[in-house]
Amino acid sequence: KNEVEQSPQNLTAQEGEFITINCSYSVGISALHWLQQHPGGGIVSLFMLSSGKKKHGRLIATINIQEKHSSLHITASHPRDSAVYICAVEGRTGGYNKLIFGAGTRLAVHP
Amino acid sequence: SAVISQKPSRDICQRGTSLTIQCQVDSQVTMMFWYRQQPGQSLTLIATANQGSEATYESGFVIDKFPISRPNLTFSTLTVSNMSPEDSSIYLCSVGLSDRPTEAFFGQGTRLTVV
């Protein structure tokens, strides 16, 4: 079993829909990251969370440390949101900043 | 924040040759990492690039295959040596601004195809 599990693997939505991507992890963490990867391969950091909830524009990320679960929500989705969304955890052992990645969720938003 | 310039962005290489990938950061950073993303797979840490000393490699990765340099706090290189088609991947440089949990910054990636 992978240490970081994401669901769904693939997601197709119509423009304007509310989207939720889930991430569960099995290790103790110091932080959880949500990342966005574009088709060319480059990665952008969306959020870093250690507790609670963060919001940036139409993106909302939440984390429940007790349940070892995080969600990324996109409100009013738009075709430009189409990308792969990756959950990554930063372990409490083995050094900070060393990330363990989920397999990613491929999101396609159609007009 | 940190802006990372990674070069080249893509390359097609012959098997048996080597490719060196550069990662330049616009500010001094504590932590620099190299990741590999094989087709359809999640990112995997290759090694932590240590300034002034040998890199720390993860299980399954060795220095002879992936030599890494980090001559200062803003620059690192990863070489993929004696390439085979199995080395076809995206290679990514990542940095952290401190040795505590912090936002992760990534380069744009190098898409390598070995033929």
Q: Indicate the residue of A43, A88, A97 with minimum beta-carbon distance to B102.
A: A97
Q: Indicate the residue of B99, B101, B105 with minimum beta-carbon distance to A31.
A: B101
Q: Indicate the residue of B42, B90, B111 with minimum beta-carbon distance to A104.
A: B42
Q: How far is A91 from chain B (nearest CA, A)?
A: 9
pLDDT, tens only, A64-86: 999 999 999 999 999 999 999 99
Cβ pair A98:B45 closer than 8 A:
yes
In terms of pLDDT, which residue wins out, B30 or A48? Answer: A48
Query: Across all residues in chain B, what is the average pLDDT?
Result: 92
Please check the confidence at residue A94 and state whether its pLDDT lies above 60: no
Mutate to test the interface with A, among B43, B99, B110 (most CBs of A within 10 A): B43
Query: Across all residues in chain A, what is the average pLDDT?
Result: 92
Decide if B42 touches A, using CB distance below 8 A.
Answer: yes
Distances (CA, A) of B90 to A18, B56, B98: 31, 20, 25
Decide if A102 touches B, using CB distance below 8 A.
Answer: yes
Contact residues for A69 (Cβ-Cβ < 8 A; gap 6+): A22, A23, A24, A25, A63
- Structure-token pair, residue B53: 């000393």
